[in-house]
Amino acid sequence: MALPQKRQDATEARIAALDTPGGGGWIRKARDEALARFRSMGLPERRDEYWRFTRPDELNAAAAPEAAILEAKETQVFGALDRLCIVFRDGVFDEAASDKLEGEGLEIERLADAARADIHWAKDLYGVLEARAQVPVVRPFAALNTAFAADGVVIRVTGRVTKPVHLRYLHEKTDSDAMLHVVVRLEEGAELTLLENGPAAARFNKCMEVDVADRAAFHHVRAQGRDHERRAVTHLFGRLGKESVFKSFTLTSNGRLTRNEVFLELTGDDAVAHVAGAAVGDGDFHHDDTVFIVHDALNCESRQVFKKVLRNGAVGVFQGKILVKRGAQKTDGYQISQALLLDEDAQFLAKPELEIYADDVACSHGSTSGAIDEDAMFYLRSRGVPESQATDLLVLAFLAEAIDEVEDATISEDIRSRLEGWLSRRRR
Amino acid sequence: MLKIENLEVKLEEEDKEILKGVDLEVPAGAVHAIMGPNGSGKSTLSYVLSGRDGYEVTGGTATLEGKDLLGMEPEERAAAGLFLAFQYPVEIPGVGNMTFLRTALNAQKKARGEPEVSAGDFLKLVREKSKALEIEPDMLKRPVNVGFSGGEKKRNEILQMAILEPRMCILDETDSGLDVDAMRLVAEGVNALRDAGRAFLVITHYQRLLDHIRPDVVHIMANGRIVKSGGPELALEVEQNGYADILAEVA
């Protein structure tokens, strides 16, 4: 079906503003198909079911809205860990600033290099998981990313890698419009911890496709921050094999617009998927978690834990769905989304969804929004804790359930101190 | 230590007078008890003194060592040396008991311009104080009061008191929900803190707590006022005859 003319024009204008990346062969085909997908969907509009709570205008615009650079004084998150660090500046790989792309049990290549090969393992995944994630809900910016992302990284994990791989995204130009595409393949029994942080660009579109083979484990922790004016739309697509584990946690602080989309398919029996997020916003902050989990195997577990602390006009959105396909018996699905509203100007919009076609499953969901517990506040103050400090303690307590999803104690401590820093800068 | 003069308080949200001119003075080193029937204003008095929202002081004064309590924020009252042991201690999921205790102690020290306590010294302090109250290390690791039994919650209140070392302690029906053994433990904890520089105001319905924490003075509160004061024998009289006789006598 052809798009209405106005939508088609906006879509074509968006395409026209982008440079077609080089690289022939296998990736050309994937990009062409993605472009065709994008054209058939068109850019999202406010009236689209999954864009009712988040205005897509700034993501739709042909040019990225400008974003000032934040001079962050605090220590780099994840900076103290022994890790393999890969640096992108405004969406462009910086070889000099990055560690050597090698490690035991790891094959890492820059996307542009992988794209030049005639035959490459990434061919079976690049744009493939993205295309699967387009059903039943379209994700136009993901297709756009597959079609136009010129840079990124492809990672193949063949063993139990203990040293985390860290993707660090620096933002240095006020008008940068970056797209990165990351492909991760964990072979049977392999393990990887992937870390991400940084504002990335004035406007950032990221697409990550993760294929977790049987008995493999993928741990993902990211800290999206801290520039106030950045806009981002990110996609995390995963496919889980038998007895595999997929755990992802995201901390988001500041940012005018962040939309984090997650689409996971549990295709092997006894797989476990946990997705969690903690977002803190003050003022001009709009944060959207749109999560879709598909259970398509026996005895799998999925867990969504999303917490938001909002004040001073900040807006939080949660759209989370659990789809249990016919035959996916013994599914254990859990979803919780909660917002702590620190004043009356903050807003939380939640849309939990369950769609279940199997009869022997346990699925639960809950969503709440509320203010600081006054009794707890008075109790703390009566013991001498000043109001601002008591607020911070209660905010951290509220976020704890989400942060506790991070298994590695050192990494979760990093996340906690990043949050404490954010809170202390906002003491009133 | 604590001096209350003609204190009048009403509920903020309704036009309902709760305290109708309370006069009370508790000197340093003394233990005073307040007894009284339900709805007499005992708990309101403790909340107003500690600074809880929802009450409006319409008259009178309350001072702690000469400082105006009623003009201070709750945390300032705490730093000035006031402590309220809650009738219903609040559960705070997600905040560890140790973190809570240390944050409170250091916040008070900071407010008084004293040096903060190091992690090591704090640990030693808590170990020592919790032992006497038979508080297991597990209770210190758990979130504040979450999943604590009634007795554990009250012991945790006394532990806070022992660590924060307030000058003026108000115990609001600390005996409610306690069995005999738990009451003895709590009372021993309180008695261990009695000294010449510290005062206690013990609010209770029953005389039995006062068997363990011997008061110097017992006040009877009714209808928003202190209607009678006397020695420990007053508590026994209440135990034997109820409040009716006393109230009839002062009416």
Nearest-neighbour CA in chain A from B223: distance (Å): 26
Domain boundaries, chain B: 2-250
Using the Cβ of B180 and the Cβ atoms of chain A, whether some distance falls under 8 Å is answered with no
Q: Confirm or reject contact between B93 and chain A (CB < 8 A).
A: yes
pLDDT of residue A1: 60
A374 touches B: beta carbon within 8 Å: yes
Alpha carbon of B215: minimum distance to chain A alpha carbons (Å): 25
Lowest mean pLDDT: which of A9-18, A375-384, B125-134? B125-134
Residue A226: the pLDDT is: 83
Mean pLDDT, residues A34-59 taken together: 96
**Span A48-60, average pLDDT:** 96
Residue B50 confidence (pLDDT): 97
For A305-322, what is each residue's pLDDT tens digit?
999 999 999 999 999 999
List pLDDT tens digits, range A263-292: 999 999 999 999 999 999 999 999 999 999
Q: What is the pLDDT of residues B25-72, one digit of tens each?
A: 999 999 999 999 888 999 999 999 999 999 999 999 999 999 999 999
Mean pLDDT over all residues of chain A? Answer: 95
CA distance A377 to chain B (A): 9
What's the pLDDT tens digit per position in A215-243?
A: 999 999 999 988 889 999 999 999 999 99
Report, as an integer, the average pLDDT of B132-161. 92
Q: Which two tokens stand for residue B216?
A: 């110097």
Of A381, A383, A397, the CB nearest to B93: A397
Confidence of residue B178 (pLDDT cuts 50, 70, 90): confident
Give the span between the Cα atoms of A396 and B61, in whole angstroms: 38
Q: Give me the architecture of the B2-250 domain, per CATH.
A: 3-Layer(aba) Sandwich (3.40)
Is the CB of A375 less than 8 angstroms away from the CB of B90?
A: yes
> Above 80 in pLDDT, residue A128?
yes
Tell me if chain A has a CB within 8 Å of the CB of B143.
yes
- Looking at residue B132, what is its pLDDT? 84
Whether A60 has a pLDDT exceeding 80, the answer reads yes
Q: What is the pLDDT of residue A427?
A: 79
Summarize pLDDT for A7-30 with one digit per residue, the tens. Answer: 999 999 999 999 999 877 899 999
Pick the residue from chain B with its C-alpha nearest to A374.
B53
pLDDT digits 0-9 by tens, A146-169: 999 999 999 999 999 999 999 999
Q: Where does the pLDDT of residue A428 fall: very low under 50, low under 70, confident under 90, or very high at 90 and above?
A: low
What ipTM was predicted for this assembly? Answer: 0.96
In angstroms, the CA B249 to CA A418 distance is 65
Chain A interface, mutation test: which of B73, B144, B168, most A Cβ atoms within 10 Å?
B144
pLDDT of residue B250: 77
Give residue B246's pLDDT band: very low, low, confident or very high (50, 70, 90): confident
pLDDT score of B13: 87
User: How far is residue A78's CA from residue A224's CA, in Å, rounded to a whole number?
Assistant: 12
Predicted pLDDT of residue A76: 83
Q: Which of A206, A212, A208 is nearest to A185 (CA)?
A: A212
